[in-house]
Chain A
Amino acid sequence: KAGVTQTPRYLIKTRGQQVTLSCSPISGHRSVSWYQQTPGQGLQFLFEYFSETQRNKGNFPGRFSGRQFSNSRSEMNVSTLELGDSALYLCASSSGRLAGQETQYFGPGTRLLVL
């Protein structure tokens, strides 16, 4: 089975712009979660989508949003970028049947640099 894929792998944006990141889960997985990784804050949970619905949400401002399509692919959008949004954004997928207990399989991440 192919693993979790994320595109693009690297991205450079300027303050005020918006960005869309994409994640394709493992075939058959219906849950997709997004995480932000920074040196200062570590790994933080953004949100989880299951069957096209947001099932779980972390403590991030409304500038961070996401969606999931019927094929389980997910996109994450960040509007009005700030310097502090520079981070590695990780996507993880799981079957979604046992929320909170399942292994999540992570993609390689998208490294976003905001100038």
Chain B
Amino acid sequence: AQSVTQLDSHVSVSEGTPVLLRCNYSSSYSPSLFWYVQHPNKGLQLLLKYTSAATLVKGINGFEAEFKKSETSFHLTKPSAHMSDAAEYFCVVSEPPRGGADGLTFGKGTHLIIQP
């Protein structure tokens, strides 16, 4: 079964400094991995996804993530935080359904706080 662990429930950075949100996953198959962002009272928006192509994935708003199979990690980074980045971030793992499997499995989320 697939699972995903977001290592930090809260991350606080100053505006203009780098952002690192950590994610480890577990999967029996070659998974697809995603990062979604949820702003308050809004739905989920895709930031980026990995589906077995390039291991360094670039997403929207300057975010990127690197798939490291040996470490089973998919950490999200951004060189310079902006106030508008304050939100909840979800790391997601997905495997092709195998007769009643799990669909998307979400991490518990990381709340990103941006200090002025």
Contact = CB atoms under 8 A, between A and B. Distances in A.
B96 interface: yes
A56 B100 contact: yes
Given A99-B97, A109-B43, A104 B106 contact: no
Given A45-B103, A100-B95, A101-B51, 13 more contacts: A35-B104, A43-B109, A56-B101, A100-B32, A100-B94, A100-B97, A101-B96, A104-B104, A105-B46, A106-B36, A106-B43, A106-B44, A107-B43
B101 A42 contact: no
Contacts of B43: 4, 90, 106-109
Interface residues of B, number: 25
B34 interface: yes
A87 B101 CA distance: 23
Contact of B32 (A42, A55, A101): A101
Contacts of B45: 106
Contacts of A103: 34, 46, 49
Nearest to B95: A100
B33 to A, nearest CB: 10
A98 B96 CA distance: 8
24 contacts: A35-B104, A42-B108, A42-B109, A44-B106, A45-B102, A55-B97, A56-B102, A58-B102, A92-B44, A99-B96, A99-B97, A100-B94, A100-B95, A100-B96, A101-B32, A101-B94, A103-B46, A104-B46, A104-B104, A106-B45, A107-B43, A108-B42, A108-B43, A109-B43
A59 B20 CA distance: 32
Interface of B: 32, 34, 36, 42-46, 49, 51, 90, 94-97, 100-109
Given A33-B103, A42-B109, A101-B32, A56 B46 contact: no
